[in-house]
Amino acid sequence: MLKSPVKKNLAIGTVITIVIATLTMIIADDGSKAEELRKSLMIGSLVTGAVTGGTWLVQRRRSAP
């Protein structure tokens, strides 16, 4: 199902982002849960996008003639 490295990185990054956001929500006890969730999701999405985009560029260069 996930044969390409780009799809694997995207799936793994999404799972890690969801886990970290959930843990951040559980740990946040000062009433700022919405802000912590937004921050976690934003950072996780940026990191996942950067890693996935980098993998996509590497794969594209390798397959170029």
Mean pLDDT value of segment 29-55: 81
Angle at 57 between CA 55 and CA 63, to 5 degrees: 100
Predicted local confidence at residue 51, as pLDDT: 87
Rg (CA), the chain: 15
**Distance in angstroms (rounded) separating the CA atoms of residues 55 and 57:** 5
Mean pLDDT value of segment 6-34: 80
Mean pLDDT value of segment 15-33: 78
Residues 50-63 have pLDDT tens digits of 888 888 888 888 77
Mean pLDDT value of segment 1-20: 81
Evaluate whether 14 touches 45 at the Cβ level (below 8 Å). no
Average pLDDT of the chain is: 81
